[in-house]
Amino acid sequence: MSLPHPPPPLSPLDILGQVFGYPDFRGPQQAIVEHVVRGGDALVLMPTGGGKSLCYQIPAIVRQNAGHGVTVVISPLIALMHDQVGALHEAGVSAAFLNSTQTQEESSALEKQLLRNELTLLYAAPERINTPRMKGLLGSLHERGLLSLFAIDEAHCVSQWGHDFRPEYRSLSLLHETFPDVPRIALTATADALTRQDMIERLKLEDAREFVSSFDRPNIRYTIVEKTDATRQLLRFIESEHAGEAGIVYCQSRKRVEEVAGMLEDAGLKAMAYHAGLDSSLRQQRQDRFLREEGMVMVATIAFGMGIDKPDVRFVAHLDMPKNIEGYYQETGRAGRDGLPANAWMTYGLQDVVNQRRMIDTSDASSEEFKQVMRGKLDALLTLAEDTRCRRVSLLGYFGEASQPCGNCDNCLNPPKVWDATEAARKMLSCIYRVQQASGISFGAGHLMDILRGKATEKVLQHSHDQLSTFGIGADLAEVQWRGVLRQLIAKGMVRVDPDAFNTLQLLPDARQVLKGEVSVMLREQALGGASDRRKSGAKKGTKTSVKGLAEASLNAGALERLARLKAWRAEVAREHNLPAFVIFHDATLRAIAERAPQSTAELEGISGIGVKKLEAYGSEVLRVCTTEA
């Protein structure tokens, strides 16, 4: 059965099956691979988890087999190169990475291997590409016809409009200038038009063929709830839907990250903090644990996550709102790469809106044009959060993709009630106006709500605001409802929070239409008793299946038991190889093996994720684990 030296040339489809163990290409993969194999330039826009790596790994193998030499992969993720290269070795592909920890001897050995055309893929960070030594090496390879392809991963890092700008990426245009005949493939999961255009110009990809995939991630369930007591809400969410599963929790600040990680640990969960304030060896260590241990929750700032291709992250939770939809989509996209059900869950509140505005307004590093773009992007995210339509329809719509209500988001599963808030909005706006007129200065949200609700606080009395005509006109609504109204007036650009003046509220020109009664304001109803009540009642009625239930359904007792033994075996192998467990086999592969209950290695063939090399290396072991009775 073993194929030690299959006769060349192997087609891309052969390689997909034999090396990676997958029967079919996904979406546009095949077209991309064929285009790049022929030497065409490509720009690939595919969501996280879509399968970008194979788009350059398979051409790298085909082209090296044909004598074209090495594919150089430029990736900003130095910390992950070891595992990426390890995963290729497991599949039987010769690959290496260059980094600054290597000794002279190691680098020289690598260079010799390259000059002998023995390496299929070489990973390097963008700052390495520009070193004189690397330039010299690339030059020698090129002279010998051994520079096959450049793959530029996370290509949006070249643009300041993207969310991970890396100045070192700017120099990558040199590749094209120096080696115009070497094909390039640039890949990203960022879809917005501005970043895309900038990326094309900066990397000089005007002539590259664009491959745009659907950005939908159907297995991810989107939920956005109003923030009441964020940490308690989070704990309830994890305990009820994701006990013992791996997830990422994003928070805005380092301090908050530490607090939340501590809180989860106190509650008995396996949780760790990750942010840029920790020293790099500790960060690396925690990242490795997250990748290698099961059921770990990483609480992190956005410093964590790019390139984390752990396929079994079952949830991504945002305790604070991200900056924009691109960031939200990228971060939530880290859930469920294996295609199994996963949750994207976010809490947000008025304070998030205020904080994000302030960060934009007070950043002095950027131009007014830049701030304007960032404000627009924030507004789009607010609109998503307040939206009563299907979340997926709004998300995909933002990326220019039309779709139908999905049946797998909070708004589809439990349609929110909408109320006519025109009158409330007018009360709020006129109260802001009256206060400003009477006192000549503006006040913050809390004070405004006290006036509306008729609370004679010390501050209200001190400014005689109990004398205003708007005092007490909003006593009919609860504070949480007023917060909802205010948040949405901010989101709709009628009210502004001034970060230079103690976060006071000011009217914007658009408020006039509402004050004059020209437009009506329809708002999402706020859950008075806390945002999670609706979820609970939904679950009781059976309208909400938990994601965990979906993922584990369909396995009988025997299969579940085999799965547990396979996981234990995998953990051991992973430890021996110093690699994350999923690099050995994905959960989905183990699940398929457990279900099939194989009696011979022949019965392992054709299971997705088992290629020739892995069958050879692990087939008999897997069989032994499956057939040994516990």
Distances (CA, A) of 526 to 239, 294, 377, 483: 24, 37, 24, 9
CB of 554 to Zn ion, least distance (A): 24
Any contact of residue 406 with Zn ion (CB under 5 A)? yes
CB of 16 to ligand ADP, least distance (A): 6
Q: Which of 10, 26, 295, 303 contacts ligand ADP by CB under 6 A?
A: 26
CB of 221 to Zn ion, least distance (A): 9
Please report which helix (H) or strand (E) contains residue 60, including its range.
helix 53-65
Instruction: Return the SS3 of 510.
Output: coil
Any contact of residue 409 with Zn ion (CB under 5 A)? yes
Q: Give the number of residues in contact with Zn ion, rule: CB under 5 A.
A: 5
Which segment (48-56, 63-71, 394-402, 558-566) binds ligand ADP by CB under 6 A?
48-56
Tell me the torsion sign for CA atoms 587, 592, 595, 599: negative
Q: Give the span between the Cα atoms of 343 and 33, in whole angstroms.
A: 31
What are 174-181's contacts with CB under 8 Å, separation 24+?
174/129, 174/130, 175/129, 175/150, 176/203, 176/204, 177/204, 178/135, 178/138, 178/139, 179/138, 179/142, 179/147, 179/150
Q: Which of 12, 17, 28, 49 contacts ligand ADP by CB under 6 A?
A: 49
Tell me the torsion sign for CA atoms 344, 356, 264, 583: positive
Q: Which of residues 433-452 bind Zn ion (CB under 5 A)?
A: none
Question: In the chain, what is the straight-line distance between the N-terminal and C-terminal CA atoms, in Å?
Answer: 29
Q: Give the span between the Cα atoms of 180 and 544, in whole angstroms.
A: 55
Give the residue with the Cβ less far from ligand ADP, 102 or 608: 608
Q: Which of residues 358-397 bind Zn ion (CB under 5 A)?
A: 390, 392
409 contact, one of Zn ion, ligand ADP, none, CB 5-8 Å limit per kind? Zn ion
390 contact, one of ligand ADP, Zn ion, none, CB 5-8 Å limit per kind? Zn ion
Q: Give the span between the Cα atoms of 294 and 78, in whole angstroms.
A: 23
CB of 273 to ligand ADP, least distance (A): 25
Give the residue with the Cβ less far from Zn ion, 47 or 59: 47
Among residues 51, 53, 44, 50, the alpha carbon closest in space to that of 211 is found at: 44
User: Would you call the peptide bond into 9 cis, given omega within 30 degrees of 0 as the criterion?
Assistant: yes
Give the residue with the Cβ less far from ligand ADP, 495 or 610: 610
- With contact defined as beta carbons under 8 Å apart, do 439 and 463 qualify? yes
Any contact of residue 215 with ligand ADP (CB under 6 A)? no
Any contact of residue 337 with ligand ADP (CB under 6 A)? yes
What is the number of the residue whose Cβ is closest to ligand ADP?
A: 51
Q: Give the span between the Cα atoms of 197 and 237, in whole angstroms.
A: 39
Give the residue with the Cβ less far from Zn ion, 257 or 395: 395
Give the per-residue SS3 of 122-179: EEECHHHHCCHHHHHHHHHHHHCCCEEEEEECCHHHHCCCCCCCCHHHHHHHHHHHHC
As a residue count, the chain comes to: 630
412 contact, one of Zn ion, ligand ADP, none, CB 5-8 Å limit per kind? Zn ion
Which segment (24-32, 133-141, 143-151, 414-422) binds ligand ADP by CB under 6 A?
24-32
Give the residue with the Cβ less far from ligand ADP, 271 or 340: 340
Any contact of residue 22 with ligand ADP (CB under 6 A)? yes
Residues 6+ apart with CB under 8 A from 574: 292, 580, 581, 583, 584
392 contact, one of Zn ion, ligand ADP, none, CB 5-8 Å limit per kind? Zn ion
Any contact of residue 319 with Zn ion (CB under 5 A)? no
Give the residue with the Cβ less far from Zn ion, 157 or 395: 395
Q: Which of residues 553-612 bind ligand ADP (CB under 6 A)?
A: 608
The one-character DSSP state at 343 is: E
Q: Which of 35, 48, 482, 619 contacts ligand ADP by CB under 6 A?
A: 48
CB of 151 to ligand ADP, least distance (A): 11
Q: Give the number of residues in contact with ligand ADP, rule: CB under 6 A.
A: 17
CB of 166 to ligand ADP, least distance (A): 17
Q: Which of 15, 42, 45, 46 contacts ligand ADP by CB under 6 A?
A: 46
**Backbone Cα Rg of the chain:** 27
Any contact of residue 412 with Zn ion (CB under 5 A)? yes
311 contact, one of Zn ion, ligand ADP, none, CB 5-8 Å limit per kind? ligand ADP
Any contact of residue 83 with ligand ADP (CB under 6 A)? no
Q: Give the span between the Cα atoms of 590 and 559, in whole angstroms.
A: 10
The one-character DSSP state at 417 is: P
Give the residue with the Cβ less far from Zn ion, 262 or 405: 405
Give the per-residue SS3 of 237-262: HHHHHCCCCCEEEECCCHHHHHHHHH
Any contact of residue 25 with ligand ADP (CB under 6 A)? yes
Torsion of CA 22, 24, 28, 32, to 10 degrees: 60
Among residues 215, 202, 199, the alpha carbon closest in space to that of 46 is found at: 215
Which segment (83-91, 356-364, 367-375, 407-415) binds Zn ion by CB under 5 A?
407-415
Among residues 420, 414, 418, the alpha carbon closest in space to that of 533 is found at: 414
Question: Which amino acid is residue 52, in one-letter code?
Answer: K
26 contact, one of ligand ADP, Zn ion, none, CB 5-8 Å limit per kind? ligand ADP
Give the residue with the Cβ less far from Zn ion, 145 or 400: 400
The one-character DSSP state at 42 is: E
For residue 223, how many C-alpha atoms fall within 13 Å in the half-sphere facing its CB?
28
Any contact of residue 311 with ligand ADP (CB under 6 A)? yes
Which segment (19-27, 276-284, 344-352, 620-628) binds ligand ADP by CB under 6 A?
19-27
Give the residue with the Cβ less far from Zn ion, 310 or 392: 392
Report the 10 Å Cβ neighbour count for 600.
11
Any contact of residue 305 with ligand ADP (CB under 6 A)? no
51 contact, one of ligand ADP, Zn ion, none, CB 5-8 Å limit per kind? ligand ADP
Q: Which of 13, 40, 53, 459 contacts ligand ADP by CB under 6 A?
A: 53
54 contact, one of Zn ion, ligand ADP, none, CB 5-8 Å limit per kind? ligand ADP
Binding site for ligand ADP (CB under 6 A): 22, 24-26, 29, 46, 48-54, 309, 311, 337, 608
Q: Which residues contact Zn ion (rule: CB under 5 A)?
A: 390, 392, 406, 409, 412
